[in-house]
Chain A
Amino acid sequence: MTSIDLALAGISLGAIAALSGIGLLVTYRTNGVLNLAQGGIATLVAYIFREMVVEWDLPIWLAAVIALAVVSPGIGLLLERLVFRPLARRRASAAEALVASLGVLVLSLGITAGIWGLGSRSDAPSIFPNSSVRVFGDSRLGVDALAELIMVVVFAAVIGIIAARTAFGRQIRAVVDDRQLAELSGVPADKVAAAGWAAGTTMAGLTGILLAPRFQLTPYGLTLLVLETFAVVVAARLSSMPVAVLTALGIAILQSELKQFTLHGDAGQILTVLQSNLFIVALLVLLLAVPKLRELGSGDSGATASFSSRGAPPSGRVSGVRLRRDYLGKLGGGALLLAPLTFAPSDLRSAFMVPALALIFLSMVIVTGYSGQLSLGAAGFAGLGALLSLKLANGDLFGLPAIPGIASMFVGALFVAPIGLITGYPAIRRRGLTLALTTFAVGAVVSRFVFEQPTFATGLYLDPLSLFGWELSEKAFYVFELLCLGFGLLVVRNLHHGRLGRALLALRDHSEGAAAVGVDVRNLKLLAFTVSSVVAGLGGTLLVHSSYSFSADDFAPLQSLLWFTAVVVFGADSAAGAIVAAAFMVTIDVLAPAGSSTLAIGILALALGWMPGGLASAVRGLLRLLAQYLADSFVDPNQRAPRPVPVRISAVGHLPATTGITGSTGIPGIGSTLGAARAGHYARWPLSGNQLGLPADAPRLTPFGASLVAMVQQYAAAQTAVGRQQRAAGAGGAPRPAGPQPSRAGAGAGAGAATHPAEGGRA
């Protein structure tokens, strides 16, 4: 084929990428949301279109009209109304909108996979006839390419005219600038936003329908293809439609032109990969080259604090009660994690995935939850860890000698560190959206150029692990996994405590402010990325040993997006949340058909609009409410300790009382009840064992409270009596009758329960 023929062959793909780019730009310029779900929606519409034509035998034109004029805009309108309008109303940060669109992506993937399965279909219908027209000489251009090209020109022109020349265009700009201000000026902001979403999803649907017949139709494959077209909007710096269109055509034609070259050896292999993956390479290169995207609004998409909102652990000495409660929680969690050891072998094998996934999720807690960097490349690090350790074990890495199984896992994970460090470098100057896309592109490039390449990822043998010549049984392997998880938790703990923890949180909360007081922002970001990549790498090796094979699909770029969403849903700053998320996903995938966990995570992600801190935060809030409720039923609200006097902090000097927000508890949202319940005299009096001896200002008990106190007293008295009996029996004396001995009971229990009535009861 001549260059001209190749160029003409590339036009169709370029035009589709341009259409996708136009859709993305329309949504972004009308709503300020870079719709990561574009690919998921495209795939869903493509499947619906295929269903109508192939399964229901509808005429293609009718199916196309239904898919593009009803289904696609309908999805957009629904998304605007149910997901993004609430976010815009409460002025959610760009990071939250980004995560919401990830949620939509995961949900649409889950729906598609749930209904049509994960298998590929090659019978996607084309809306254009399979014919071509002659352009110059003998060169021919497909009718589809011609039609797509015309569509691109028409859409770009129409949208350009609407944006620049009409009142509606002005309204769009006003809404994007400041939605509330626009509404105050009489602009129907909701309608403008809805129109933007409907147009964007229609373009997405069109992209899906046009792409599907060119490739195999699979939920993940098509979605990823559309995600790769993000290169186009990055080149356009999120603003210029002509640049987006030209870039799309340019990359596609260049990719097509590469087909006329052949090289041998490693270069040839790279060329082969480039011939079908130029878009993803362009995405990475453009992200590294384009200094700054023209983000809308305040460009605050770096602010992840909205979904990782927990502060540092207390810097002072922790109270005994709190410490005991922490230990109890950890003990309970540990017991749950050990439970699979009692399972049947097949169930135990399913549980192998939990610690492995949990480690990968912990790596995201480190980068996103603690240091506030949006990173969508975890699967890449995990896969590299797996691959490097396998190659080490096989003696197939840079001529290094073969390292036995377990050692190779750790060394392989450590080898990921330099790659994490390199990925961290772009993070120094990038935040939010740009960083998220960059890390995603790194993961995708690694996946395409390494995991999917036969030279790297085939012929690797997975020997059973052994320790000191003793082959690990399945139970022993699970215990080993738990030890690795424990190691990961230790790292996470060290990253969250003390000076380092505070510095990371400072970086997450306000990076300029942190730099202003000397926090080494640059090195901390690099540290977070490096450590996180090692933890993810270790998780990846465990994952491979859990599933007994290395599969590129396990570490596909879309996995990163799914995992990231799961981590945010369960609380991006919660190590426990990461473990629960892993257990949740594995359990659902074992119990329900494949893809169900994706669906579940997607649904939960959409609920993030209502629970900004993720499930972990929601659970924390629920516990707080429960504690409040218990405190209220324990102590008569009217007789509670006086609320702490709110303090105003004057700009200077001491604290005259005039304004203030929190009470002396220092915890927003917690009134005095909880604080009072913890305060010293409240804690001690029920344990004095004598209600008559209450201090004069003690609160009056509710009936529930009184009965609870009575129970505690009885229990404590019985314990003391038993102890005394035993002592008496030991001394050879006659056992005494067990009766209430309030004063001694109080003395016995008081020491153990310095601060909390409930704890006193237990003691």
Chain B
Amino acid sequence: MSRHVLQAVGLVRRYGGLTAVDHVDLVAPPGMITGLIGPNGAGKSTLFSLLTGVEQPDEGKVVLGSTDITRMRPDIRSRRGLVQTFQVPSLFPTLTVADNLLVGAENRRRDYAGGLLGLSAQGRGRVSHSIERGLERLGLAPKGPVTQIVEEVLDSLGLSEVRDTIAGTLPTGALRLVEFARALCARPDILLLDEPASGLDSEETAKLSQLLRRTAAGGVGIVIVDHDVDLVFSVVDQVYAMVGGRVVASGDPETVRNDPTVRSVYLAQAPLAVAGQSGEAR
């Protein structure tokens, strides 16, 4: 299955007199990690909201593959393959880890009415229960694609041991991981990660970057917004640096790092960019 590229074309978002995002173009190809950096108030979070569909741009468009998704709601974007995670992990606290992942895996279709009439997958499962059992004995356990994805993701992220744990009881590091797993279960073309490293210690952050690399190697495109400039530069394939709502530099990490504007912004505001993480308007 070919994966889609995410494109932002001439995006503009104004709040009253303030132009938070000012004619921004961005391309996030599948299989690559795209970083978005900038000091507080640079417009990163607003741009992120425009990409996820939480906010609508005043001008410009967001395109996934060949489809203009600018006016689509976040859940429709997600079903089309543009899946996001949040700055504060947003799990479903009363569901188990496995159920959290299942929600991620099974909502690419919308036919909820079948469930209402009792025609859920579970119901069908009961009918074919004995057949399944027979196949199980032959070692041909026919797990539905949905369950299979969940089990695979649980396995590959090492979450099998907590699959039946209620998500609300997990520590922050685990919450991030489960949220990431849930996003993977939604089979994204493009993953939008909002500050995935916040709340993680340095060891966990290092492992996160490994995980991001692994995911990208699997063909998923990743867009990452983070204040942790070291993390961003260590893991991304390309960087967009924003200042005052505009993209001032873009390209491979080395190019952007050596860009005079970026250097001046980060040399002047380095402590601010790293320390003042929470103040940015969304």
Known: A309-B94, A310-B94, A651-B200. A517 touches B182 (CB 8 A): yes
Interface residues of B in 65-93 (CB under 8 A from A): 73-75, 78-79, 83-86, 90-93
Task: Enumerate chain B residues within 8 angstroms of A497, measured Cβ to Cβ.
Answer: 115, 120, 122
Least CB distance from A621 to B in Å reads: 15
Least CB distance from A236 to B in Å reads: 23
Contact, CB under 8 Å: A517 / B83: yes
Least CB distance from A313 to B in Å reads: 10
Contact, CB under 8 Å: B95 / A509: yes
Least CB distance from B203 to A in Å reads: 8
A337: CB under 8 A from chain B? no
Known: A490-B118, A500-B115, A502-B99. A651 touches B92 (CB 8 A): no
Cα of A653 to Cα of B168 in the assembled complex, Å:
20
Counting chain B residues whose Cβ lies within 8 A of the other chain, the interface size class is 35 or more
Contact, CB under 8 Å: A650 / B173: yes
Contact, CB under 8 Å: B171 / A660: yes
Contact, CB under 8 Å: B174 / A649: yes
Known: A517-B83, A662-B165. A494 touches B115 (CB 8 A): yes
Q: Give the residue name and chain of the B residue nearest to A660 (CB).
A: B171
Contact, CB under 8 Å: A649 / B103: no
Contact, CB under 8 Å: A518 / B95: no
Task: Enumerate chain B residues within 8 angstroms of A495, measured Cβ to Cβ.
Answer: 115-116
Task: Enumerate chain B residues within 8 angstroms of A506, measured Cβ to Cβ.
Answer: 92, 95, 100, 103
Known: A311-B166, A520-B107, A647-B161. A510 touches B92 (CB 8 A): yes
Cα of A503 to Cα of B113 in the assembled complex, Å:
12
A649-683 contact mask (Cβ, 8 Å, vs B): 1 or 0: 11111110001111010111000000000000000
Which of the residues A310, A518, A648, A659 comes within 8 Å of B78, measured between beta carbons? A518
A519: CB under 8 A from chain B? yes
B52: CB under 8 A from chain A? yes
A527: CB under 8 A from chain B? yes
Contact, CB under 8 Å: A498 / B99: no
Interface residues of A in 498-553 (CB under 8 A from B): 498-503, 505-506, 508-510, 512-524, 527, 531
Cα of A523 to Cα of B116 in the assembled complex, Å:
13
Least CB distance from B10 to A in Å reads: 25
Contact, CB under 8 Å: A518 / B171: no
Contact, CB under 8 Å: B52 / A305: no
Least CB distance from B259 to A in Å reads: 30
Least CB distance from B142 to A in Å reads: 14
Cα of A301 to Cα of B71 in the assembled complex, Å:
28
Cα of A315 to Cα of B113 in the assembled complex, Å:
19
Most buried by B among A312, A500, A512, A661: A500
B108: CB under 8 A from chain A? yes
Q: Give the residue name and chain of the B residue nearest to A519 (CB).
A: B107
Q: Give the residue name and chain of the B residue nearest to A500 (CB).
A: B115
B104: CB under 8 A from chain A? yes
Cα of A523 to Cα of B164 in the assembled complex, Å:
29
Task: Enumerate chain A residues within 8 angstroms of B183, measured Cβ to Cβ.
Answer: 516-517
Contact, CB under 8 Å: B177 / A651: yes
A491: CB under 8 A from chain B? yes
Contact, CB under 8 Å: B118 / A516: no
Cα of A531 to Cα of B210 in the assembled complex, Å:
46
Cα of A512 to Cα of B205 in the assembled complex, Å:
25
Q: Give the residue name and chain of the A residue nearest to B53 (CB).
A: A515
Contact, CB under 8 Å: A661 / B78: no
Cα of A19 to Cα of B159 in the assembled complex, Å:
58
Interface residues of B in 155-180 (CB under 8 A from A): 157-159, 161-162, 164-166, 168-171, 173-174, 176-179
Cα of A648 to Cα of B93 in the assembled complex, Å:
18
Cα of A501 to Cα of B116 in the assembled complex, Å:
9
Least CB distance from A513 to B in Å reads: 3
Q: Give the residue name and chain of the A residue nearest to B129 (CB).
A: A317
Contact, CB under 8 Å: B120 / A500: yes
Task: Enumerate chain A residues within 8 angstroms of B52, measured Cβ to Cβ.
Answer: 516
Contact, CB under 8 Å: B173 / A649: yes
Contact, CB under 8 Å: A502 / B112: no
Which of the residues B95, B104, B106, B165 comes within 8 Å of A312, measured between beta carbons? B95
Q: Give the residue name and chain of the B residue nearest to A502 (CB).
A: B103
B33: CB under 8 A from chain A? no
Least CB distance from A517 to B in Å reads: 4
Cα of A756 to Cα of B121 in the assembled complex, Å:
29
Known: A495-B116, A502-B106, A520-B112. A513 touches B78 (CB 8 A): no
B280: CB under 8 A from chain A? no
Contact, CB under 8 Å: B211 / A652: yes
B96: CB under 8 A from chain A? yes
Cα of A523 to Cα of B113 in the assembled complex, Å:
10
Least CB distance from A91 to B in Å reads: 15
Task: Enumerate chain A residues within 8 angstroms of B96, measured Cβ to Cβ.
Answer: 311-312, 315, 666
Contact, CB under 8 Å: A501 / B162: no
Q: List 6 A-B contacts (CB under 8 A).
A: A312-B94, A500-B120, A648-B174, A650-B203, A654-B158, A661-B171
Interface residues of B (CB under 8 A from A): 52, 54, 73-75, 78-79, 83-86, 90-96, 98-100, 102-104, 106-108, 110, 112-113, 115-118, 120-123, 157-159, 161-162, 164-166, 168-171, 173-174, 176-179, 182-183, 185-186, 200, 203-205, 207-208, 210-211
The 7 closest A-B pairs by CB, nearest first: A500-B115, A652-B207, A513-B90, A498-B120, A649-B174, A651-B204, A509-B92
Interface residues of A (CB under 8 A from B): 305, 309-312, 315, 490-491, 494-495, 497-503, 505-506, 508-510, 512-524, 527, 531, 647-655, 659-662, 664, 666-668
Q: Beyond the given A505-B95, A518-B108, A531-B116, could you list 19 further A-B residue pairs with CB under 8 A, ordered by the A residue number?
A: A309-B94, A311-B99, A494-B117, A494-B118, A499-B106, A515-B74, A517-B185, A518-B78, A518-B79, A518-B83, A519-B75, A651-B173, A651-B176, A651-B205, A652-B177, A652-B210, A652-B211, A653-B207, A655-B161
